[in-house]
Structure 1
Amino acid sequence: MHTTLIDAVTLSQHLNDPKWVILDCRHDLMNPNAGIDSFAIGHIAGAQFANVDTDLSGAKVGVDGKFLGRHPLPGRAALLETLRGWGISDDSQVVAYDAHGGMFAARLWWLLRWVGHPAVAVLDGGLVAWQAAGLPMVTHAERRTPGTISERTPLVSTVSADDVVANLSSQARTVVDARANDRYRGENETIDPVGGHIPGAKNRFFKDNLNADGRFKDAAQLKTEFAPLFSDASQAIMQCGSGVTACHNLLALEIAGLPGAALYPGSWSEWVGHPSRPVATGAN
């Protein structure tokens, strides 16, 4: 069972394994069609396309009318139906990949763990590593026989906006922001019209989890680099712009042997959707 990362060569050896399900998570936050367009040009054989905006996210507004952020979690029932549609069952090994260092594939990794499925891994180095290994791409799409994945006990945890608000006073948990430094400081209005960060949050840009070749750093290095942020991962909260790249930090923590951190799914986009919530700017 692969539960964090898988290398390109190992994946290539299982392309014809009926119990393996491969999902292409390529996406562009500024161009919603970029992922599916890239998939049509070429993808790993047997892969199916997972749309970050629709398949891996839910409605932006809750039943109570409150804004939940740009990429809220999908409902569990809806997610399970989507996973079954891709042919995923309880005994499936799922592999997610993208072309962005795992920033979108990690969202699918986390979601599967959210419904209790441990056998999910991210292709280390993504499509770049696949092509660098001289492995083939195809253009035709395939459909799988529907799967039968069931909901099991979650392997991950979440916190709500109210939990994060309460933490402003208690400071019982450490909030870690996965956005780029300029967004964290409040200096990128193109992406974040309301800039800054949650007061007290620390910054760990998700790309800092990667080596220059786009593959994840090893467990020891990741553990060393996360050490200054908190002493106990189970008391940490991961967030980002909309709950997507925070999953990259959660994957890195799992690789480092530091499990237990929670995801704040709404993240910055939900936080600033309510003007009463405080905002900090500059370096922490």
Structure 2
Amino acid sequence: MSPLLITVTELANQIKHQPDTLCLVDCRAKLQFPDWGREQYLHGHIPGAQFADLERDLSGPIIAGKTGRHPLPTPAALASFFADIGISPTTQVVAYDDAGGAYACHLWWQLRWLGHDQCRILDGGLPAWVAAGQPLESGPVARQRAPFIGALRAGLTVTADELLQVDGLLQTETKRIVIDARGPARYAGKEEPIDPVAGHIPGALNLPFSGNLTADGHFLPATALRQRFADAGVTGTGSSATGSSENVVAYCGSGVTACHNIFAMALAGLPPAKLYPGSWSEWITDPSRPIARTN
């Protein structure tokens, strides 16, 4: 198993034998039902898990006409939340959800953004835990604040203005690849159940995050993931390699499921892509930004 993933068996053993080294984080969410994740967490969660609220804990304030639906929190606010739920510099974080890692990978990326690399995703998530006959507990879990030390990593994100530049940050013979993690119908502009404008960023490729998973919600093997991204043109590493994953930008509707593709690239052994945090919901706040649709 990759050091980025943890199996149900491995997690159960760690909870049993080394609980003090661990911070479990339940990341369940539904975009159109803000309170759903917390309600599900209180109803039943992996014993000892804290809850990370996508809207309240992992997103900053929305500014109408300027930000997307889930803007990044300030580093200080995010670091304070991580400290509140008990993450110290030596803590092993395990994140899970019930959506194939769609939300857990967002937490993984945010921890990495603040310099904390000790985070693993529960492969198969809560469904795999339940299917294995492992226990759940209900109600909140008492918090024990820890001295989280965040060290913001520069260069992991891009802005809309950078995406609009013809040459941008990546010049000479290098090629920027922009990957859209949403489903095909939203990418094509045939439907848009969440945002007021349909379509995609011109030139972007569609790699739905669900394609990183098996039918039962586990991550594909690294070789299969590597081939998936190679088929999209991500074939090399290094600053001068055309199609290098260092030149890839990931986005989605609001900067959440894009992190799933970034995680999958890391799982495949590729340097992680950069994240466009505002994603489509921010892109469309400025009517001068171009929009593409496909038939």
Place the TM-score, normalised by the shorter chain, in its bin.
over 0.9
Partners of 2:93 and 2:40 in 1: CA distance: 21
Alignment map for 1:85-234 (pairs within 5 Å): 85-152=84-151, 154=153, 157-167=156-166, 172-230=175-233, 231-234=243-246
Partners of 2:66 and 2:152 in 1: CA distance: 27
Partners of 1:235 and 1:122 in 2: CA distance: 25
Which stretch of structure 1 is more off in the superposition, 68-77 or 141-150? Answer: 141-150
Q: Which one of the candidate residues 244, 247, 253 is aligned to 2:256?
A: 244
What percentage of residue pairs aligned between the two structures are identical? 46
What is the Cα deviation at residue 59 of structure 1? 1.3
Which stretch of structure 1 is more off in the superposition, 83-92 or 144-153? Answer: 144-153
Indicate the residue corresponding to 1:15 in structure 2.
15
Classify the secondary structure of the residue corresponding to 1:175: strand
Which stretch of structure 1 is more off in the superposition, 202-211 or 132-141? Answer: 132-141
What is the Cα deviation at residue 66 of structure 1? 5.5
Q: Which amino acid aligns with 1:105?
A: A
Q: Is the 8 A contact 1:238 1:247 kept in 2?
A: yes
Classify the secondary structure of the residue corresponding to 2:120: strand
Q: TM-score, normalised by structure 2?
A: 0.91
Which stretch of structure 1 is more off in the superposition, 136-145 or 100-109? Answer: 136-145
Partners of 2:151 and 2:61 in 1: CA distance: 23
Partners of 2:278 and 2:35 in 1: CA distance: 23
Q: Is the 8 A contact 1:3 1:118 kept in 2?
A: no
What is the Cα deviation at residue 14 of structure 1? 1.8
Name structure 1 gaps, 5 residues minimum.
none
Which stretch of structure 1 is more off in the superposition, 158-167 or 242-251? Answer: 158-167
Indicate the residue corresponding to 1:39 in structure 2.
41
Partners of 2:255 and 2:224 in 1: CA distance: 24
Partners of 2:151 and 2:192 in 1: CA distance: 40
Classify the secondary structure of the residue corresponding to 2:178: strand
- 1:222-264 CA deviation, whole Å, 9 max, x = no partner? 0001102233100100000000000000010000001131000
Q: Which amino acid aligns with 1:131?
A: V
Partners of 2:183 and 2:24 in 1: CA distance: 29
Which stretch of structure 1 is more off in the superposition, 13-22 or 197-206? Answer: 13-22
Compared with structure 1, are the counterparts of its residues 99 and 108 closer, same or farther at alpha carbon in structure 2 (3 Å cutoff)? Answer: same
CA RMSD of aligned residues (A): 1.9
- 1:130-186 CA deviation, whole Å, 9 max, x = no partner? 011110001132123211111225287000111111148878411000000000000
Which stretch of structure 1 is more off in the superposition, 161-170 or 103-112? Answer: 161-170
Displacement over 3 Å in runs of 4+: 167-172
Classify the secondary structure of the residue corresponding to 1:145: coil
1:253 aligns with 2:237: no
Which stretch of structure 1 is more off in the superposition, 204-213 or 143-152? Answer: 143-152
Indicate the residue corresponding to 1:266 in structure 2.
278
- 1:64-118 CA deviation, whole Å, 9 max, x = no partner? x761100011100000000000010000000110001110011000000000001
Compared with structure 1, are the counterparts of its residues 168 and 60 closer, same or farther at alpha carbon in structure 2 (3 Å cutoff)? Answer: farther
Classify the secondary structure of the residue corresponding to 2:179: strand
Q: Is the 8 A contact 2:93 2:119 kept in 1?
A: yes
Partners of 1:156 and 1:42 in 2: CA distance: 38
Name structure 2 gaps, 5 residues minimum.
234-242
Q: TM-score, normalised by structure 1?
A: 0.94
Indicate the residue corresponding to 1:84 in structure 2.
83
Q: Is the 8 A contact 1:178 1:239 kept in 2?
A: yes
Partners of 1:25 and 1:153 in 2: CA distance: 22
Q: Is the 8 A contact 2:75 2:152 kept in 1?
A: no
Q: Which amino acid aligns with 1:264?
A: Y
What is the Cα deviation at residue 3 of structure 1? 4.6
